[in-house]
Amino acid sequence: MGVKGFVEGGIASIVAGCSTHPLDLLKVRMQLQGEAHAPMQPVQSLRPALAFHTTTSAGHIQSPPRVGLLTLGIRLVQKEGVAALFSGVSATILRQTLYSTTRMGLYDILKQKWADPETRNMPLASKILAGLIAGGIGAVVGNPADVAMVRMQADGRLPPTQRRNYKSVVDAITRMAKQEGVTSLWRGSSLTVNRAMLVTASQLASYDQIKEMILAKEVMREGLGTHVTASFAAGFIAAVVSNPVDVIKTRVMNMKVEAGKAPPYQGAVDCAVKTVKAEGPMALYKGFIPTISRQGPFTIVLFVSLEQVRKLLKDL
């Protein structure tokens, strides 16, 4: 019974992760905008579509601090091609296989243990606690793939000479371990764990709670409409709760640490302080539009797929 929860959650998570990957990539790019130490590209390396950027005295250009989701997407396709929207998709698949499979499976196990035997429901506080535990453990397992995914998604924004050019998620993880040490695979893990705990608790707990309320009040019957409504609400709640941690996590994971030089950030708190000082408090909600644009569809696809997979595997 416990193993089936992992399989169901894993399949649904991979489907959801792959289908919303381009939005996740745009979210990462938006979260990295405006970094004080962000590299500037030479004017001649850019296409005409980007020619309106401001030029520095050193002959370099600095991108505007804020660019919208649609504009960023158009520029990315113009500069890097349509295939760039799926940069790091192999890391997404591995991340969903490790992180989401673990968190979904553990949450299912805890739900079975803590649920009321008659109603098969459990109190909201228990749902939140189950989500915190499952999310934290899942994040530790999936952190190497998470670091690889962030780097692969962000690579295209760097000047050609500074790009890491990872061939795949396996290549990324192997090179990080060799060049930066095995511990680099868990860079930003405290942030990943915190974010995963928040996302899992808010996403899974709110989905279950809202679905139960809809059915109890007979607003809708069990079915696709109920699943879509509950999952969209859960996605919005998860996005609001997790975005600040997600911004800091993205920046810490993506930072370049050069030998003999101090890293751009000393840790999560230092990153948060520098980000707010340089860009203001709302910088912690950079990428919120693509975050909710992704979290909404991701959560809908996740739970609709999960419900369908459960139907297919219910007799196993």
pLDDT recorded at residue 155: 87
Q: Which residue has the tokens 């999560």?
A: 268
pLDDT recorded at residue 77: 93
H-type helices in the chain, by residue range?
2-19, 21-31, 69-80, 89-95, 101-114, 124-154, 169-180, 189-216, 224-254, 268-279, 288-313
pLDDT recorded at residue 38: 58
Dist. CA 196–CA 192, nearest whole Å: 6
Token code pair at residue 160: 């050609």
pLDDT recorded at residue 100: 93
pLDDT recorded at residue 66: 66
pLDDT recorded at residue 301: 95
Question: What domains lie within the chain, and their CATH numbers?
Answer: 2-313 (1.50.40.10)
Task: Read off the pTM.
Answer: 0.74
Dist. CA 243–CA 247, nearest whole Å: 6
What tens-digit pLDDT sequence spans the chain (316 residues)?
478 999 999 999 999 999 999 988 888 888 887 776 655 544 333 333 333 344 444 444 444 556 778 888 999 899 999 998 998 898 899 999 999 999 999 999 999 899 988 888 899 999 999 999 999 999 999 999 988 988 888 888 888 888 899 988 999 999 999 999 999 999 878 888 988 999 999 999 999 999 999 999 999 999 999 999 999 999 999 998 889 988 998 898 888 877 778 888 988 899 999 999 999 999 999 888 878 888 889 999 999 999 999 999 987 7
pLDDT recorded at residue 208: 95
Spatial neighbors of 86 by CB under 8 A, at least 6 apart, are 21, 22, 25
